[in-house]
Chains A and B, each alone.
Chain A
Amino acid sequence: MPDKYHIKTKPVPARRPKIGKVGIVDWREDCAGCRNCVKKACVFDRYRQEAEYIRNMSDMDSIFFQCMGCFSCVQQCTKGLLALSENPVYDRLGNRYWTPAIIETTWNQAETAKIPVSGAGYRGRFTGPGFDSMWTDMSEIVRPTRDGIHGREYISTAVDIGRKPAVLHFNSLSDISNFPLITIAMPLVIDLMPQGYKLSNVIKFCKSLAVQTGILIIVDYRDLELLGNDLDNSLANLILYIDRGAHLPPHSLLKRIRMVEIGDDDQIDKRIRDIKAINQDIIVAIRVEMGADGVARAKELGQKKNIEVLHLVADMNGDQIGVAQPRFIKDMVREVHNFLINRGIRNEITIIAGGGIALAEHMAKQIICGADLVGINLPLLIALECVLCNECNDGVHCPVDVGNVKESYGVGRMVNLVAAWHDQLIEVMGAMGMREVRRLRGEVGRALFFEELEEATFGKLFGTRKN
């Protein structure tokens, strides 16, 4: 058996008290002093931990909120003095897309590197916008696995990045391919942090993460010095981003890296030529922002013979950029994907999709909707206990002090998160009976879409769906 792709992890405890969903409200006056205190009986020992915590409290702005919400103390207190309440701090985390629940589960995964597990069935809404309007499929008796009989340890999550010509072109007998290809072990690249979320040390951690897990990281050429001096070790994991109109990096650098990404404009043909002239083994990706005409542009670029990789980027919530009624990234990518399929050229290019990838399941779902791999950024920042206050930059006060965390903590938490995502990807692929993430791409037969299911079942019975 060949070596398995495995990410080494170890638990990295949080620096700060967790912000839980539930808090205990405790009225100390009116206590009967019955000595049967239910606080001692807390199954999770939270009251003792709380007392301990308050004794050693060094940071006054943090509150202890680790109640598990079982109501046992509330219901057993002799005088009924205890109550549970929603934690307003928890409620204010994130935004409408990056919900408190997403942030909380990301923190837990970054700490433990484990797949989040809980009991009592599903608790959420039936369906929702974005990625919540689809389910992944599973295998059953008539077709236990899609790819034949295999154990989970044989599931491959590797993907290829680059152009794969439909036919081989022979320059000479020994030179059969004129396009380079990079294979990475997981369908994930680390994208540029969105504006307002750029911290110099985070970039450095991301670089180490990429090196440790064998994935790629996109770094703006202008930020290159932030990576430090030992650039040589990470060149293989680097995708150098060259913005529209920016000068090309020095030849010496371009000759040593494997991939660049360039901002989309009308100069891209010339840019690609220039870059390839310096190093013909470099892969050039085009970063296409999914604005009003993003889909049209992606389709146009997808047909060009000199394009190797398209990186389609929505905003951080996965929405189309700068439109009143934005479409969601998965639908836009699906349209581009289907268009290229119909032209018979989908296999020739690689599509990276980014924006709104917040959970491991989004990675799988985005790939089902036509991307080869996905780009993420914010989840890695959240792994460092970021609360998404949206005000960070070097020099600005950070409520969780991300700028000063230790490298072992930063990289450890990020690696844990990526490992947990990898394990979850294997879980859903195992359930789908898929053996390779390459073949998951565009495999909508292994997914169930809310609109289609509704139409096929309830539409038939109850007429037309309102709004």
Chain B
Amino acid sequence: MVPEKINNSNLPENTRKTQVEQAQVSREIKPAPPRYRNELAKYIINRSDACIHCGKCAEVCPQGVHVLKPGYKLFAAPRLNVCVGPSCQNTDRYCVDLCPQKALRMVENPMMKVLGDYRWTPDLILSTWKMAETGSAPPKEFGYEREFGNSGGGFDRLKIKFPAKAPLEVKPEEVDTTLELNRRNDGRPQIKLDVPWYGGGMSFGSVSNVTQLSKARAAVAFNTFTCTGEGGYMERLRPYDDHTITQVATGLFGVREETIQRVRIIEFKYAQGAKPGLGGHLLADKVTPSVARMRETVLGISLFSPFPFHSVYSIEDHQKHMDWIKHINRHALISAKVSTPTDVDMVAVGSHSAGAHIVHIDGGYGGTGAAPDIAKKNIAMPVEYGIVKVHDFLTREGVRDKVTLIASGGLRNAYDIAKAIALGADGVVVGTAELVALGCLRCARCESGRGCPRGIATTDPKLQEQLTVEWGSQRIINLYNAWRNDLVDILVKLGLRSISELRGRTDLLMHMDYTNDMEPKK
């Protein structure tokens, strides 16, 4: 569907002057191989001195793990990341058994103990990398646990109840994964995304240009959105105006009439899951000339984003806020991004009544940026509770179908997206997973020294060079594609024709810590 264009003639000349031709990005899936020489693998194969270099292993392995280059006597380093691991034993091509010298030994890579954490297990990281590489889910033989993390609660204990046979036969190509963002019927454009998610806000400075552009290009390819984060509208994002959300956060950095008028969605960030209830603080030495120019501030002076908006102390103030933006851009949809306090349900209803099209709740366990550890762990509730609370309350208030509920905060894969929607959200926002696609492994050093050692969340020119926009966009496009396939697969198995039919279907979920003996909701 062609997005409804802003009527340019209505825009002031200053803004019109800055508009450029919009970029087109193809959704084509192309392999985007890992950018490191030694890719991390779940299993490693040791070759002992007994090897006589007969080449049998290279001959039998269907994946091409063992590499004996022509003209070479010795084996090159094995391509362990394509090895499927012990599940190969069930085939007749298991190199370890077939080696005439019994020179091979397969063990679980001990480095897996250091990789990842409870929420992003090594399996989730590796499978996300595979999806970003190939554009589809890694084959079952790899044995990755792709659905659950290891946090022991929330999404990791919720399971989708797949019926033995789907109640309705749906063909994969008929499944509708689109998400409608404007449910207010207020004359503003109907914006429809091809997938039920969009990219989270990561500001200029917190991530590299390459990261921001890669996200933007993937958003174009999948007809969805990315978000500027607080910190201004990067000039290089202009070709992606139609798929960019301008964030208005408490510091109002880089917010100008022009940046509000050029986009189709404007997001008010009241709070964020990474540090609910706390403001932001950009340290003085990170306020480089380009950051200062973008944020319209003074070089080398540290910048505070206060909490909360000091112009908003009530829903009425909130409405005033939105009216102001709605007046400046008469075609934009408004999103209110809030975190998950105990009364998040009230906040959501309040936001709706103040005129928001999208209520975006960002749970306490989310976030990609640097934040105080005490806030990441302790403040505000996990989004799993928030979704149920808000969905129920909006329903009881009779406005559930007038607002788009977006959830975020710790969603890692298509299963989490499906679970969030089944709990009651309309769609989700993802952040960390996109960074993982670019090679993040959550070492959590985003803020130390020169910034991200993997070149993703840094402005250090040398470190940034590690990835290119082309590669980065392809990785995210591939990941999106794999997710969409997964979602379609989930819907087909459930016998649902569209993702919107899944919303609020808690009867399709079970919780592994509960008896699950409730009467199904009528």
Residues of A within 8 A of B (CB): 21-22, 43-44, 68-72, 74-80, 83-86, 105, 115-127, 135-145, 149, 359-361, 364-365, 424, 427-428, 430-433, 445, 448, 453, 456-459, 461-466
Most chain B CB inside 10 Å of its own CB: which residue of A75, A122, A461, A462: A122
Stretch at the interface among B24-32, B285-293, B504-512: B504-512
Tell whether, in the assembled complex, residue A427 and residue B372 are in contact, meaning their CB atoms are under 8 Å apart.
yes
Tell whether, in the assembled complex, residue A137 and residue B342 are in contact, meaning their CB atoms are under 8 Å apart.
yes
Tell whether, in the assembled complex, residue A125 and residue B372 are in contact, meaning their CB atoms are under 8 Å apart.
no
Nearest opposing residue in chain A for B510, CB measure: A462
- Other contacts beyond A77-B37, A121-B273: 5, CB < 8 A: A68-B445, A77-B38, A428-B375, A457-B384, A463-B517
Q: Given the interface contacts A139-B341, A140-B271, A361-B377, does A120 sit within 8 Å of B313 by beta carbon?
A: no
Tell whether, in the assembled complex, residue B343 and residue A140 are in contact, meaning their CB atoms are under 8 Å apart.
yes
Taking the nearest CB of chain A, how far is it from the CB of B360, in angstroms? 12
Taking the nearest CB of chain B, how far is it from the CB of A451, in angstroms? 12
- Is B167 in contact with chain A by the CB < 8 A criterion? no
Tell whether, in the assembled complex, residue A116 and residue B372 are in contact, meaning their CB atoms are under 8 Å apart.
yes
Taking the nearest CB of chain A, how far is it from the CB of B99, in angstroms? 21
In the complex, which residues 358-373 of chain B have their Cβ closer than 8 Å to any Cβ of chain A? Answer: 364-373
Contact of A43 among B152, B410, B449, B518 (CB under 8 A): B449
Tell whether, in the assembled complex, residue B153 and residue A125 are in contact, meaning their CB atoms are under 8 Å apart.
yes
Tell whether, in the assembled complex, residue B153 and residue A141 are in contact, meaning their CB atoms are under 8 Å apart.
no
Tell whether, in the assembled complex, residue B377 and residue A462 are in contact, meaning their CB atoms are under 8 Å apart.
no
Nearest opposing residue in chain B for A466, CB measure: B513
Nearest opposing residue in chain B for A429, CB measure: B277
Q: Given the interface contacts A69-B114, A120-B368, A135-B364, does A143 sit within 8 Å of B343 by beta carbon?
A: yes
Tell whether, in the assembled complex, residue B278 and residue A118 are in contact, meaning their CB atoms are under 8 Å apart.
no
Taking the nearest CB of chain A, how far is it from the CB of B229, in angstroms? 14
Contact of A136 among B379, B440, B518 (CB under 8 A): B379
Majority SS at the chain B contact face = loop
On chain B, the residues within 8 Å of A458 by CB distance are 388, 511, 514
- Is B307 in contact with chain A by the CB < 8 A criterion? yes
Could you list 30 A-B pairs, sorted by A, with CB under 8 Å?
A44-B448, A68-B453, A72-B454, A75-B38, A76-B38, A86-B113, A105-B373, A116-B372, A117-B370, A117-B371, A117-B447, A120-B435, A121-B274, A121-B410, A122-B119, A126-B153, A126-B157, A138-B276, A138-B380, A140-B308, A140-B339, A142-B343, A142-B350, A431-B307, A448-B342, A448-B381, A458-B388, A465-B513, A466-B513, A466-B515
Taking the nearest CB of chain B, how far is it from the CB of A107, in angstroms? 14
In the complex, which residues 35-73 of chain B have their Cβ closer than 8 Å to any Cβ of chain A? Answer: 36-40
Tell whether, in the assembled complex, residue B308 and residue A139 are in contact, meaning their CB atoms are under 8 Å apart.
yes
Nearest opposing residue in chain B for A132, CB measure: B377
On chain B, the residues within 8 Å of A21 by CB distance are 114
Complex CA–CA separation, A85 to B111 (angstroms) = 6
Nearest opposing residue in chain A for B377, CB measure: A122
Interchain residue pairs A-B with the least CB separation, the first 8: A431-B277, A126-B153, A119-B446, A138-B277, A75-B36, A462-B514, A123-B117, A70-B453
Tell whether, in the assembled complex, residue A83 and residue B110 are in contact, meaning their CB atoms are under 8 Å apart.
yes
Tell whether, in the assembled complex, residue A122 and residue B374 are in contact, meaning their CB atoms are under 8 Å apart.
no
Q: Given the interface contacts A80-B38, A83-B111, A125-B153, does A115 sit within 8 Å of B374 by beta carbon?
A: yes
Tell whether, in the assembled complex, residue A22 and residue B114 are in contact, meaning their CB atoms are under 8 Å apart.
yes
Complex CA–CA separation, A365 to B377 (angstroms) = 13
Interface size class of B (residues with CB under 8 A): 35 or more
Contact of B347 among A122, A142, A145 (CB under 8 A): A142
Complex CA–CA separation, A466 to B515 (angstroms) = 7
CB within 8 Å: A-B pair count = 270
Nearest opposing residue in chain B for A68, CB measure: B445
Contact of A85 among B113, B310, B315, B346 (CB under 8 A): B113
On chain A, the residues within 8 Å of B506 by CB distance are 461
Contact of A120 among B110, B388, B446 (CB under 8 A): B446
Taking the nearest CB of chain A, how far is it from the CB of B421, in angstroms? 15
- Is B378 in contact with chain A by the CB < 8 A criterion? yes
Tell whether, in the assembled complex, residue A140 and residue B514 are in contact, meaning their CB atoms are under 8 Å apart.
no
- Is B19 in contact with chain A by the CB < 8 A criterion? no
Tell whether, in the assembled complex, residue A124 and residue B118 are in contact, meaning their CB atoms are under 8 Å apart.
yes
Complex CA–CA separation, A433 to B441 (angstroms) = 35
Q: Given the interface contacts A74-B38, A122-B119, A122-B377, does A137 sit within 8 Å of B447 by beta carbon?
A: no
Q: Given the interface contacts A117-B373, A135-B379, does A122 sit within 8 Å of B343 by beta carbon?
A: no
Taking the nearest CB of chain A, how far is it from the CB of B267, in angstroms? 14
On chain B, the residues within 8 Å of A78 by CB distance are 37
Tell whether, in the assembled complex, residue A71 and residue B115 are in contact, meaning their CB atoms are under 8 Å apart.
yes
Complex CA–CA separation, A56 to B466 (angstroms) = 34
- Is B214 in contact with chain A by the CB < 8 A criterion? no
In the complex, which residues 150-204 of chain B have their Cβ closer than 8 Å to any Cβ of chain A? Answer: 151-154, 156-157
Contact of B380 among A127, A135, A462, A466 (CB under 8 A): A135
On chain A, the residues within 8 Å of B384 by CB distance are 457
In the complex, which residues 457-491 of chain B have their Cβ closer than 8 Å to any Cβ of chain A? Answer: 457, 463
Nearest opposing residue in chain B for A78, CB measure: B37
Tell whether, in the assembled complex, residue A120 and residue B37 are in contact, meaning their CB atoms are under 8 Å apart.
no
Nearest opposing residue in chain A for B517, CB measure: A463
On chain B, the residues within 8 Å of A144 by CB distance are 308-309, 312-314
On chain A, the residues within 8 Å of B134 by CB distance are none
On chain A, the residues within 8 Å of B448 by CB distance are 44, 68
On chain B, the residues within 8 Å of A119 by CB distance are 368-371, 444-447, 452, 457
Complex CA–CA separation, A361 to B374 (angstroms) = 6
On chain A, the residues within 8 Å of B369 by CB distance are 119
Nearest opposing residue in chain B for A75, CB measure: B36
Complex CA–CA separation, A337 to B388 (angstroms) = 31
Q: Given the interface contacts A117-B371, A121-B368, does A138 sit within 8 Å of B339 by beta carbon?
A: yes
- Is B389 in contact with chain A by the CB < 8 A criterion? yes
Tell whether, in the assembled complex, residue B119 and residue A85 are in contact, meaning their CB atoms are under 8 Å apart.
no
Tell whether, in the assembled complex, residue A140 and residue B410 are in contact, meaning their CB atoms are under 8 Å apart.
no
Tell whether, in the assembled complex, residue B154 and residue A126 are in contact, meaning their CB atoms are under 8 Å apart.
yes
Tell whether, in the assembled complex, residue A431 and residue B381 are in contact, meaning their CB atoms are under 8 Å apart.
no
Nearest opposing residue in chain A for B370, CB measure: A119
Nearest opposing residue in chain B for A467, CB measure: B513
Complex CA–CA separation, A448 to B375 (angstroms) = 14
On chain A, the residues within 8 Å of B517 by CB distance are 463-464
Tell whether, in the assembled complex, residue B374 and residue A360 are in contact, meaning their CB atoms are under 8 Å apart.
yes
On chain B, the residues within 8 Å of A359 by CB distance are 374
In the complex, which residues 404-456 of chain B have their Cβ closer than 8 Å to any Cβ of chain A? Answer: 410, 432, 435, 440-450, 452-454
Complex CA–CA separation, A68 to B448 (angstroms) = 10
Q: Given the interface contacts A118-B373, A119-B445, A123-B442, does A140 sit within 8 Å of B114 by beta carbon?
A: no
On chain A, the residues within 8 Å of B511 by CB distance are 458, 461-462
- Is B376 in contact with chain A by the CB < 8 A criterion? yes
- Is B344 in contact with chain A by the CB < 8 A criterion? yes
Nearest opposing residue in chain B for A121, CB measure: B367
On chain A, the residues within 8 Å of B341 by CB distance are 137-140
Contact of B318 among A69, A83, A141, A465 (CB under 8 A): A141
- Is B135 in contact with chain A by the CB < 8 A criterion? no
Chain A proximity mask over B139-158: 1 for CB below 8 Å, otherwise 0: 00000000000011110110
Nearest opposing residue in chain A for B336, CB measure: A141
Complex CA–CA separation, A232 to B514 (angstroms) = 61
Q: Given the interface contacts A428-B378, A428-B379, does A139 sit within 8 Å of B447 by beta carbon?
A: no
Complex CA–CA separation, A23 to B16 (angstroms) = 55
Complex CA–CA separation, A448 to B383 (angstroms) = 13
Nearest opposing residue in chain B for A118, CB measure: B444
Tell whether, in the assembled complex, residue A459 and residue B514 are in contact, meaning their CB atoms are under 8 Å apart.
yes
On chain B, the residues within 8 Å of A125 by CB distance are 118, 151-153
In the complex, which residues 320-364 of chain B have their Cβ closer than 8 Å to any Cβ of chain A? Answer: 336, 338-339, 341-344, 346-347, 350-351, 364
On chain A, the residues within 8 Å of B1 by CB distance are none
Taking the nearest CB of chain A, how far is it from the CB of B32, in angstroms? 16
Tell whether, in the assembled complex, residue B350 and residue A123 are in contact, meaning their CB atoms are under 8 Å apart.
no
Tell whether, in the assembled complex, residue A70 and residue B370 are in contact, meaning their CB atoms are under 8 Å apart.
no
Q: Given the interface contacts A140-B270, A141-B351, A360-B374, does A85 sit within 8 Å of B365 by beta carbon?
A: no
Contact of A140 among B338, B432, B435 (CB under 8 A): B338
Tell whether, in the assembled complex, residue B370 and residue A149 are in contact, meaning their CB atoms are under 8 Å apart.
no
Complex CA–CA separation, A463 to B517 (angstroms) = 6
- Is B18 in contact with chain A by the CB < 8 A criterion? no
